[in-house]
Amino acid sequence: MEQSPYSEKVMDHFLHPRNVGEIADANGIGNVGNPVCGDVMRMYLKIENDIITDAKFKTFGCGAAISTSSMVTEMVKGKSIKEALGISNKAVAQALGGLPAIKMHCSVLAEQALKSAIKDYYKRQGKDIDFDDVDKRRDP
C-alpha cells in the first residue's frame, strides 16, 4: 500500500479537529485568506489579562489547513500574547510531525489567522500593533 504523505498527527487533527466553531464573546477575531488556493480561515480568541484563555477556528480550507488550525488553537491556549506571537508556522507543522513541502503554505494561513486575531484584539483597545518585528525575528 502506498504510504500517506501525511503524518498520523496530521490525519488525527484533520479527522478530529479540535476547537472548531465560534466564541460568542471573543475579543480578538482574525480573518485571512490565501489568494492562490482561495482557502479562508477565521480565528476567534478570548484573551483575559494578556492570557489566551480560549481559541476556536472555522475554515473553508484543505486538510492541512484544518490540521494546522486545530493544532495552533491547542498550542495557544493558556499562553500569553507574547508567547503566542512566537509560534511560527514551522513550529505548528513540527508539532504535527511535519507537512509535505507543498503544503507548508497551509500552515502559514494558521499562523496568519492567529496574528490577525491578536491584531484585532489590540485594535479593539485602540492600539495599532505592527507585527513586522516579530516576523523579522523568525527564521526565514
**Which listed residue (47, 64, 93, 118) binds ligand FES by CB under 6 A?**
64
User: What's the N-to-C CA distance of the chain in angstroms?
Assistant: 36
Residues 6+ apart with CB under 8 A from 84: 52, 76, 114, 118
**Which listed residue (10, 55, 84, 106) binds ligand FES by CB under 6 A?**
106
Which residue, among 50, 35, 51, 43, has the nearest Cα to 19 in the 3D structure?
A: 43
Distance CA(123)–CA(131), nearest Å, equals 13
Contact range with ligand FES by CB under 6 A, out of 59-67, 73-81, 83-91, 117-125: 59-67
> 43 has which bridge partners?
30, 57
Contact range with ligand FES by CB under 6 A, out of 31-39, 49-57, 79-87, 90-98: 31-39
- Name which of 24 and 36 has its Cβ closer to ligand FES: 36
Residues in contact with ligand FES by the rule CB under 6 A: 34, 37, 39, 61-62, 64-65, 106, 109
